[in-house]
């Protein structure tokens, strides 16, 4: 019963059409986000020290402003609302972290690289999951997704472990390389998945099963090549032998 329901679900043209529309609606946002990630990675590679200081200033100022607003909101609370409110604690903590980031940019560099490296590892695990999903969908290029996940994970591990006590700026450059690779490959992956879903939805409308879409395309290409080759052979045979036995009536 479960297998039957799964088969019906996989052969649901409306379901795949709905997925195609969702991918189409979000594809532009994903592409723009990945372009931003690529730019971020390039900045980390080109000027790691300036990037770290800039991020420390931006985050530090943001935390100070946010913490100040939280403290103001606590002062403006009514008496009955003060109990159970942690606005003053939150505001004070944010102010403290903001001042720390502004006055200790070197220490922030270590923290920033650690956070970004951990983020790279999370991204790599997500790519492994995507590779497994593509394998289940029988997308022929699924192993490329797995390869990109392994490469990005290696960058993330090197940036965290820092073998040979590499400098923080070098670790940040390594993390930036991982960001660039991730952003570029994610854009490629979105295009591949969008094309696959589009083909699948179209194939299901014609009564085909989604797992046979790529196989069907390959078979069509092979059949077209065979037909073309057969036509060429027939034309060649006709050119070579077709006129040899004809009587032109000229005594030749």
What's the chain's average pLDDT? 76
Instruction: Kindly tell me if the per-residue pLDDT of 231 is higher than 90.
Output: no
Instruction: Kindly tell me if the per-residue pLDDT of 181 is higher than 60.
Output: yes
Range name among 97-101, 111-115, 124-128, 161-165 with the lowest pLDDT average:
161-165
Evaluate whether 112 touches 48 at the Cβ level (below 8 Å): no
Q: Helix, strand or coil for residue 18? A: helix
Residue 218's pLDDT is: 57
Reported as a single tens digit per residue, the pLDDT across 17-36 is: 666 677 667 778 888 988 99
Highest mean pLDDT of the ranges 19-33, 120-134, 138-152 = 120-134
What's the rounded Cα separation, in Å, for the pair 15 and 201? 9
Q: Model pTM greater than 0.85?
A: no
Exposed, middle or buried by CB within 10 Å (0-12, 13-18, 19+), for 251?
Answer: exposed
What's the rounded Cα separation, in Å, for the pair 196 and 130? 14
Higher pLDDT, 195 or 208: 195
Phi, psi values for residue 229, rounded to 5°: -65, -40
Instruction: Kindly tell me if the per-residue pLDDT of 1 is higher than 60.
Output: no
Mean pLDDT across the stretch 175-186?
91
Instruction: Kindly tell me if the per-residue pLDDT of 6 is higher than 50.
Output: no
> Who contacts 16 (Cβ-Cβ below 8 Å, separation ≥6)?
197, 200, 201, 204, 210
Evaluate whether 210 touches 13 at the Cβ level (below 8 Å): no
Reported as a single tens digit per residue, the pLDDT across 57-110 is: 898 999 999 999 988 888 877 665 566 567 888 889 999 999 988 888 777 878
Of 128, 131, 148, nearest in space to 140 by CA: 131
What's the rounded Cα separation, in Å, for the pair 143 and 139? 9
Mean pLDDT across the stretch 194-222?
62
Q: How far is CA 148 from CA 102, 130, 144, in A?
A: 36, 11, 6
Mean pLDDT across the stretch 42-65?
90
DSSP-derived secondary structure letter, 249: S
> Who contacts 118 (Cβ-Cβ below 8 Å, separation ≥6)?
156, 160
Domain boundaries, the chain: 15-226
What's the rounded Cα separation, in Å, for the pair 120 and 171? 12
What's the rounded Cα separation, in Å, for the pair 149 and 61? 35
Query: To the nearest whole percent, how much of the chain has pLDDT over 90?
Result: 19
Instruction: Kindly tell me if the per-residue pLDDT of 153 is higher than 80.
Output: yes
Phi, psi values for residue 174, rounded to 5°: -60, -45
Residue 26's pLDDT is: 74
Phi, psi values for residue 142, rounded to 5°: -60, -35
């Amino acid at each position: 019963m479960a297998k039957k329901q799964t088969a019906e679900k996989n052969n649901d043209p409306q379901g795949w059409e709905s997925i195609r529309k969702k991918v189409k609606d979000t594809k532009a946002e994903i592409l723009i986000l990945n372009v931003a990630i690529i730019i971020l990675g390039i900045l980390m590679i080109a000027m790691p020290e300036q990037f770290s200081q800039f991020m420390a200033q931006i985050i530090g100022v943001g935390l100070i402003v946010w913490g100040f607003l939280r403290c103001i909101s606590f002062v403006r609370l009514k008496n009955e609302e003060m109990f159970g409110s942690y606005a003053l604690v939150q505001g004070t903590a944010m102010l403290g972290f903001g001042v720390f980031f502004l006055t200790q940019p070197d220490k922030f560099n270590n923290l920033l690289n650690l956070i970004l490296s951990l983020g790279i590892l999370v991204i790599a695990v997500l790519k492994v999951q995507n590779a497994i999903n593509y394998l289940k969908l029988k997308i022929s290029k699924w192993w490329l997704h797995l390869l990109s996940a392994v490469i990005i994970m290696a960058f993330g591990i090197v940036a965290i472990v820092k073998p040979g006590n590499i400098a923080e700026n070098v670790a940040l450059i390594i993390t930036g390389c991982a960001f660039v690779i991730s952003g570029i490959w994610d854009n490629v992956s979105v295009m591949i998945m969008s094309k696959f879903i589009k083909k699948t939805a179209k194939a299901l409308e014609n009564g085909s099963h989604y797992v046979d879409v790529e196989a069907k395309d390959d078979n069509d290409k092979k059949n077209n090549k065979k037909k073309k080759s057969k036509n060429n052979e027939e034309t060649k045979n006709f050119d070579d032998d077709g006129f040899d036995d004809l009587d032109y009536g000229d005594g030749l």
